[in-house]
């Protein structure tokens, strides 16, 4: 088994030439220099590059102990956050914990769905709960609304000393409403580093603490990220999968492939694809530029989106994210009547059938005019998920610099907020 994630580009043949790669490589190397020298746009938000080496053992032990304490006293841990303060933790938990297992962590503040908040609040009334609230400012509407609701519930159930055991704030080190609240009431707090933006924060306490509350090996996540940082981020650019992936995306974009579909064949990857959509969309989509990130969960979506991908507008390419290790223990039984004509598969593992579906799909889409590549993860584990996180973070930073945009800002996000505040009648709006 490989020690690292790998990149298969076999189905880019006829879409990307060796000359294309050679021609774009100076731009790739320039983008890498901007990151290394911290001389490019947004260079005050490059702290994510060093997260795998910045943690002291005491920092990780403290998070693990906090998570263990919250698990012990809680029926439910309500994690409140939106965007990067939500998707990293959600994707980690969904990937690394049993699909149908009883989970401690519930998420809120990632939207304004009144019915969901109503149901989760009713559920919380009769449970012992703890709260992890994640926000640099403490005033972002969606998480602020949710925090009000669940803090109110907690205050009705517990005295101030008990609340100090049950409320954890992950926020700015010095300023903001949530920092002020944490300091005033003595709530346990962790820092979102000033030089790490939300969509790059999965390996900060933003992603690590909620994951630890579900028993995820957060040291394994960091070890995986460190492995990619040390081994794959450098050396021969032709062999570096981060550089190569960033280059290929931009070559395809310049050839009219303006939509990238992150496709998987495992429901555990769903929220990783959602995390990728935010990471790439918010990093690249500005100045009238950007590859539009979409996602599909196969084989389910082959029976819905499959038609469009196979024969629709040829403006798309695909990035498959695939686990190489096949899962054992779920075999197709023999049936004497064989009315469904499946006896030819009797005794086969379902994971074997799923693998053939992936192989068939990647070939069919390629023949239908959709170039595709595959990021292979040897097996689903904290170590390899950490590799994926760092791989995609570094790749999008390089890719955005090639594209000619600042990967680390998001000025367009404020537009809807200003209009919403005006409609809500917020003072000063």
E strand residue ranges, 282-351: 292-297, 316-323
Q: What is the CA radius of gyration of the chain?
A: 23
Q: What does the DSSP 8-state code read for residue 193?
A: -
* DSSP 8-state code for residue 168: E
What is the rounded (10 degree) CA torsion for 199, 202, 207, 208?
-160
- What three-state secondary structure class fits 356? helix
Per annotation, catalytic residue among 22, 175, 417, 419? 417
* Cα gap 61→202, rounded to integer Å: 18
Q: Based on the residue annotation, tell me whether 303 is a catalytic residue of this protein.
A: yes
Q: Nearest Cα to 130, choosing from 172, 94, 84, 80?
A: 80
Query: How far is the C-alpha of 148 from the C-alpha of 136, rounded, in Å?
Result: 16
* Residue reference for tokens 């999968």: 241
Helix, strand, coil: what percent of the chain each, to 5? 55, 15, 35
CB 300 within 8 Å of CB 273? no
Catalytic hit among 142, 214, 274, 282: 282
Query: CB of 309 within 8 A of CB of 252?
Result: no
Q: How many CB atoms lie within 10 A of CB 134?
A: 33
CA-CA distance, 392 to 279, in Å (whole number)?
Answer: 8
Is 417 among the catalytic positions?
A: yes
Q: Single out the catalytic residue among 160, 239, 303, 336.
A: 303
Of the candidates 298, 272, 293, the one whose C-alpha atom is nearest the C-alpha of residue 281 is 293
Helices (H), 135-288: 141-157, 160-166, 177-185, 205-213, 218-231, 241-254, 270-284
Q: Are 359 and 374 in contact (CB under 8 A)?
A: no
Verify whether residue 365 is a known catalytic residue: no
- Listed as own residue / partner, the contacts of 32-40 with beta carbons closer than 8 Å and 24 or more positions apart are 32/243, 32/398, 34/401, 35/394, 35/397, 35/398, 35/401, 40/401, 40/406
**Residues with catalytic roles:** 282, 303, 417
């Amino acid at each position: 088994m490989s020690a690292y994630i790998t990149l298969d580009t076999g189905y880019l043949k006829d879409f990307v030439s060796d000359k294309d790669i050679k021609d774009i490589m100076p731009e790739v190397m320039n983008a890498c220099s901007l990151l290394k020298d911290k001389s490019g746009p947004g260079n005050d938000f490059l702290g994510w590059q060093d997260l795998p080496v910045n943690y002291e053992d005491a920092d990780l032990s403290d998070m693990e102990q906090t998570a263990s304490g919250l698990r012990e006293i809680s029926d439910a841990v309500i994690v409140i956050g939106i965007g990067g303060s939500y998707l990293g933790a959600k994707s980690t938990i969904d990937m690394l914990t049993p699909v149908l297992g009883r989970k401690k962590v519930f998420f809120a503040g990632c939207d304004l769905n009144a019915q969901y908040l109503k149901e989760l609040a009713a559920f919380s009334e009769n449970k012992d709960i703890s709260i992890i609230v994640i926000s640099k400012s403490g005033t972002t509407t969606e998480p602020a609304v949710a925090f009000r609701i669940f803090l109110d519930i907690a205050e009705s159930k517990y005295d101030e000393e008990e609340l100090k055991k049950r409320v954890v704030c992950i926020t700015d080190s010095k300023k903001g409403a949530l920092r002020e609240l944490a300091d005033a009431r003595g709530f346990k707090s962790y820092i979102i580093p000033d030089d790490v933006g939300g969509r790059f924060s999965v390996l900060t306490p933003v992603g690590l603490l909620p994951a630890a509350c579900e028993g995820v090996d957060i040291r394994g996540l960091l070890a995986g990220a460190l492995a990619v940082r040390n081994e794959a981020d450098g050396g021969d650019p032709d062999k570096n999968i981060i550089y190569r992936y960033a280059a290929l995306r931009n070559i395809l974009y310049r050839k009219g492939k303006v939509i990238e579909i992150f496709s998987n064949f495992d429901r555990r990857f769903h929220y990783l694809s959602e995390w990728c959509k935010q990471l790439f969309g918010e990093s690249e989509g500005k100045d009238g530029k950007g590859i539009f990130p979409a996602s599909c969960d196969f084989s389910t979506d082959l029976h819905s989106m499959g038609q469009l991908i196979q024969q629709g507008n040829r403006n798309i390419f695909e990035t498959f994210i695939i686990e190489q290790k096949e899962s054992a223990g779920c075999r197709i039984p023999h049936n004497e009547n064989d009315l469904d004509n499946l006896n030819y598969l009797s005794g086969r593992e379902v994971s074997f059938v799923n693998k053939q579906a992936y192989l068939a799909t990647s070939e069919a889409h390629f023949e239908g005019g959709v170039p595709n590549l595959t990021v292979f993860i040897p097996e689903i584990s904290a170590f390899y998920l950490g590799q994926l996180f760092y791989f995609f973070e570094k790749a999008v930073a390089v890719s955005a610099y090639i594209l000619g945009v600042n990967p680390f800002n998001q000025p367009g996000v404020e537009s809807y907020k200003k209009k919403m505040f005006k409609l809500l009648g917020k003072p000063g709006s």
